[in-house]
């Protein structure tokens, strides 16, 4: 059961999430807020209205009932019934009208909190809607990258030095029984994390850091994208259809490799993790390098467990790789502080007990595992969060540079189809 939080903490989270949302649409004109019809993005004007609606529908109306604060809001913003391609054709409110609707909902959310401690139900629904806004804020960020919009400016970002060099090598993680998933006493849990259950894993070796641009460049330089032997049949079909020759935003110019970062082209930094690669690309690189992707159980063991007295896997799991304290910029590149990825050797304070760095933050990490329910799964209030996607997506772990630190933990499961390159994904690997 969700642990009750104070009204003050929930109010702080609500305000902070909304600041980030507004940061991400500030300065965009009406045409940019609609944007082109692309499979992997939504019209930003629709999406920010959907965020406000989600707070209203899943918190205010679940707790207090009542009618929508915008006529026909359900017909406009319910993503479970409004088809993706129809979202460009809806009679949406103006940008200012949309912001006004969002403000009315936010004010009602804050007003009903009052003082003291929220109930467990209130806390769960408020956190659900806050984290939903956090997820969309990350989606807004990579949508701006997809569309080539200007680099976002975050009001609450804390400057970070991105330079720190490479971090080669593997660490050894012993075999044993891992309790995969979240424990029942976790502060807040998404339905697909429920509940921790025993999984037997064999000893393995996993990279200390994610694969870097320099690492991936070797694959590109050796014509890895042109050699079918490194790709699965499905991956090769994707590569041919996409005409992929290198990672999505890489550019080969006369003075070397460059990368498009939002609306600018800049030199490719060798020690930053490769980002915006899909599962097929990660798998092909592994075949070329004689490596493999970790399973999600292996990933969680490397991130969350500690050695017991005999050097095996202790039963206790950490909430974060470094322990149970919330993240700081010294632990992980989260919250948009760096407004991009940093070198893989940064954030030594965030090492796991086994010596893995940046298991939270910087880039999401693809795993070998197909997204499936844990034993005994049942959907929570947002029934379409997980259940419709089982069996069709791959699990990613760890969070990216724009992920909010209040949401991501060692047990958080992200999930996307293996062809998605727009998301902030990279990967780390295991020895064969």
Pick the last residue of a domain from 99, 119, 147: 147
**Number of structural domains the chain divides into:** 2
Q: Which residues contact 48 (CB under 8 A, 6 or more apart)?
A: 21, 25, 98, 99, 102, 136, 140
Confidence (pLDDT) at 1: 64
In a domain, 1, yes or no: no
Q: Which two tokens stand for residue 120?
A: 């467990």
Q: Which two tokens stand for residue 359?
A: 């298991």
In terms of domains, do 398 and 265 share one?
A: yes
Q: Give the separation between CA 317 and CA 182, rounded to whole angstroms.
A: 10
Q: Give the separation between CA 319 and CA 119, rounded to whole angstroms.
A: 23
Q: Give the separation between CA 264 and CA 324, rounded to whole angstroms.
A: 38
Cβ count near 423 (within 10 Å)? 23
Q: Is 413 exposed, middle or buried (0-12, 13-18, 19+ CB in 10 A)?
A: buried
In terms of domains, do 129 and 163 share one?
A: no
Nearest to 246 by CA among 286, 201, 208, 216: 216
Q: What is the CATH number of the domain that holds 76?
A: 1.20.120.450
Would you say the C-alpha torsion 317, 432, 234, 247 has a positive or negative sign?
positive
3-state helix, strand, coil in the chain (%, to 5): 35, 15, 50
Give the strand pairing for 364-370 and 313-317.
Answer: unpaired
In terms of domains, do 239 and 208 share one?
A: yes
In terms of domains, do 138 and 178 share one?
A: no
In terms of domains, do 302 and 349 share one?
A: yes
In terms of domains, do 164 and 202 share one?
A: yes
Element (H, E) at 218: helix 213-221
In a domain, 152, yes or no: no
Q: Give the separation between CA 312 and CA 175, rounded to whole angstroms.
A: 7
Residue 102 Rama label (left phi>0; alpha psi -120 to 50; beta): alpha
Q: In what order do the strands lie in the sheet with 414-416?
A: 414-416, 394-397, 364-370, 425-426
Given a contact cutoff of 8 angstroms between Cβ atoms, the answer to whether 391 and 416 are in contact is no
Q: What DSSP character marks residue 185? A: T
Confidence (pLDDT) at 255: 86
In terms of domains, do 250 and 293 share one?
A: yes
Q: What is the DSSP string of 21-68?
A: HHHHHTT--HHHHH----TT---HHHHHHHHHHHHIIIIIHHHH----
Pick the last residue of a domain from 147, 168, 185: 147
Q: What is the DSSP string of 66-84?
A: ---SSTTHHHHH-TTTS-G
Tell me the pLDDT tens digit for each residue of 97-151: 999 999 999 999 999 998 899 999 999 999 999 999 999 999 999 999 999 999 9
In terms of domains, do 272 and 393 share one?
A: yes
In terms of domains, do 300 and 171 share one?
A: yes
3-class secondary-structure state, position 199: strand
Given a contact cutoff of 8 angstroms between Cβ atoms, the answer to whether 288 and 224 are in contact is yes
The range of the structural domain enclosing residue 165 comes to 159-432
Residues of the chain with pLDDT under 70: 1
Q: Is 67 exposed, middle or buried (0-12, 13-18, 19+ CB in 10 A)?
A: exposed
In terms of domains, do 294 and 386 share one?
A: yes
Between CA 90 and CA 95, with CA 93 as vertex, the angle to 5 degrees is 115
3-class secondary-structure state, position 132: helix
Q: Give the separation between CA 269 and CA 281, rounded to whole angstroms.
A: 19
Pick the last residue of a domain from 93, 117, 147: 147
**Alpha carbon separation from 41 to 38, 46, 139, 142, 363 (Å, rounded):** 6, 11, 8, 9, 19
In terms of domains, do 187 and 103 share one?
A: no
Q: What is the CATH number of the domain that holds 177?
A: 3.90.1580.10
Q: What is the DSSP string of 333-385?
A: --TTTTSS---TT--GGG--TTS---SSSSSEEEEEEE--PPTT----SSTTT
């Amino acid at each position: 059961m969700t642990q009750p939080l104070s009204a003050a903490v929930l109010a702080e989270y609500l305000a902070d999430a909304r600041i980030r949302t507004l940061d991400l649409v500030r300065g965009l004109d009406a045409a940019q807020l609609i944007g082109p019809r692309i499979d992997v993005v939504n019209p930003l004007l629709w999406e920010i209205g959907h965020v406000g609606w989600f707070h209203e529908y899943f918190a205010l109306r679940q707790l207090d009932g009542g009618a929508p604060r915008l006529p026909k809001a359900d017909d406009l913003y319910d993503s479970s019934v409004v088809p993706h391609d129809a979202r460009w054709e809806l009679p949406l409110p103006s940008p200012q009208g949309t912001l006004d609707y969002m403000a009315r909902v936010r004010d009602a959310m804050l007003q009903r909190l009052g003082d003291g401690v929220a109930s467990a139900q209130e806390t769960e629904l408020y956190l659900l809607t806050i984290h939903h806004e956090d997820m969309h804020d990350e989606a807004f960020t990579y949508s701006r990258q997809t569309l080539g919009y200007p680099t976002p400016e975050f009001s609450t970002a804390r400057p970070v030095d991105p330079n720190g060099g490479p971090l080669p090598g593997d660490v050894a993680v012993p075999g044993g029984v891992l309790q995969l998933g979240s424990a029942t006493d976790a502060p807040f849990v998404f339905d697909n994390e429920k509940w921790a259950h025993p999984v037997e894993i064999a000893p393995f070796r996993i990279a200390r850091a994610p694969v870097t641009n320099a690492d991936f460049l070797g694959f590109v330089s050796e014509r890895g994208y042109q050699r079918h032997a490194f790709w699965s049949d499905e991956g090769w079909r994707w590569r041919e259809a996409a005409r992929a020759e290198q990672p999505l935003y890489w550019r080969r110019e006369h003075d070397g490799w460059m990368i498009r970062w939002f609306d600018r082209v800049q030199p490719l930094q060798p020690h930053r993790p490769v980002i915006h690669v899909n599962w097929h690309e990660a798998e092909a690189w592994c075949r070329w390098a004689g490596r493999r992707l970790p399973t999600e159980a292996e990933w969680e063991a490397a991130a969350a467990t500690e050695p017991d007295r005999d050097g095996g896997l202790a039963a206790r799991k950490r909430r974060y790789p470094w322990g149970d304290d919330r993240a700081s910029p010294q632990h992980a590149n989260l919250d948009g502080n760096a407004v991009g990825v940093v070198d893989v050797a940064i954030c030594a304070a965030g090492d796991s007990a086994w010596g893995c760095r940046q298991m939270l933050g910087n880039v999401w990490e693809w795993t070998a595992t197909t997204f499936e329910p844990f034993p005994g799964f049942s959907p929570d209030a947002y029934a379409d969060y997980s259940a419709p996607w089982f069996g069709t997506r791959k699990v990613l772990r760890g969070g990216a540079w724009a992920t909010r630190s209040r949401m991501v933990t060692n047990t958080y499961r992200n999930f996307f189809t293996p062809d998605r390159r727009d998301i902030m994904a990279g990967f780390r690997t295991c020895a064969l």
